[in-house]
Amino acid sequence: MKRLSIVVPMYNVEPFVEKCLRYLVEQDIPQEEYEIICVNDGSPDNSRDIVLKFKEKYSNVVLLDQENQGVSMARNNGIDIATGKYLLFIDPDDYTDSNCFKNILQKADDNDAEVVHLGFTVLDEFDKEKAAVHHEGISTTVVEGIKAYSLCHVEGRPDPDRIYGILIKRDLLNTYKLRFLEGVPYLEDGELMTRISCIASRCLFIKGTFYWRTTRPGSATNSDLFYSKRAIDGFIKSASNLRVFRETLSLSVEQRQYLNQPIVKYVILSLSASSKFTDYKTYRYVRASLLKNNFNKLELEGIDKTYKKLGGFFNISISLLHCYLLFRPIGLSVKNILNKLKFK
């Protein structure tokens, strides 16, 4: 067994992938101890040719070709052929520090960690630092996944729902059959990390920067994808999958209540994505989809005040929550919304 498997999904990333791979091969552990699995997701550009050049020189570079299926399936197929003790997901337009794997893997092994949260820096499109998370002030002792999740979800922390910059024990994913959801084009990282954090018992934070996150104009994160039907379907699918996870596994009360908030979050996201439109066509589609998937009432135990408030509106009426999300930017009060909708 190798110590580490790195999964790099590729689609139209020719200008970036060489830099990404250069940092991945310039490391302080032998090539035979880790593998770099590049999943060519039917990319029409020359990304594949760049990988082949690296493959000629570096024996630990692996190329997996597939028809275009999206980033989730690319990552899943990479997981399926991985042989490492730990998994690391790298986006091809990002990069890591050089010569840092030895220290990270040693700390993971010493603490028998299942999940290791690594520091990251977010760069803007001009490669200037936009935000940084170095895990300063967070204890270096091992904590349970739910605690680690809460430490990542503090106010002001960028991109808490992410898979990048996180080392994950492969056995954890395989034991619980955890994979990325197909057909979720937006925030697919967060849905999987929610399930991982729910069942992980040994999580570790390592201070300092490891991962460099770039901002690329035209990427999914920087587009109108959030407001698309695909994204809305993905939010509802994520909420449904987390609910099934909650109901089918033998979980503690704490674990069940922990899952309530992300379920509520994804339901609210589906309605938030429809609140951009004033003709209500998209809203009617979302409402029908939610009801079809049996989202009539949300469980609110154990969630924070903001989500409990929004979930409470939903439980009164989906229309009430939609109107609140629609009119909140112009300061229309809940009381006025209730009067307009004639709720008593």
Q: Average pLDDT by consecutive 10-residue portion of the chain (344 residues)?
A: 97 96 97 98 96 97 96 97 98 96 97 97 92 88 95 83 94 97 92 97 95 76 76 96 97 97 96 76 93 97 94 95 78 45 37
The per-residue pLDDT for 290 is 97
The class (CATH top level) of 2-219 is alpha beta
Q: Secondary structure of the chain in the HEC alphabet?
A: CEEEEEEEEECCCHHHHHHHHHHHHCCCCCHHHEEEEEEEECCCCCHHHHHHHHHHHCCCEEEEEECCCCHHHHHHHHHHHCCEEEEEECCCCCEECCCCHHHHHHHHHHCCCCEEEEEEEEECCCCCEEEEECCCCCCCCCECHHHHHHHHCCCCCCCCCCCCCEEEEHHHHHHCCCCCCCCCCCCHHHHHHHHHHHHCCCEEEEEEEEEEECCCCCCHHHCHHHHCHHHHHHHHHHHHHHHHHHHHCCCCHHHHHHHHHHHHHHHHHHHHHHCCCCCCHHHHHHHHHHHHCCCCCCCCCCCCHHHHHHHHHHHHCHHHHHHHHHHHHHCCCHHHHHHHHCCC
Instruction: Write down the domain spans for the chain.
Output: 2-219, 223-341
The per-residue pLDDT for 221 is 52
pTM: 0.91
The per-residue pLDDT for 23 is 97
The per-residue pLDDT for 186 is 87
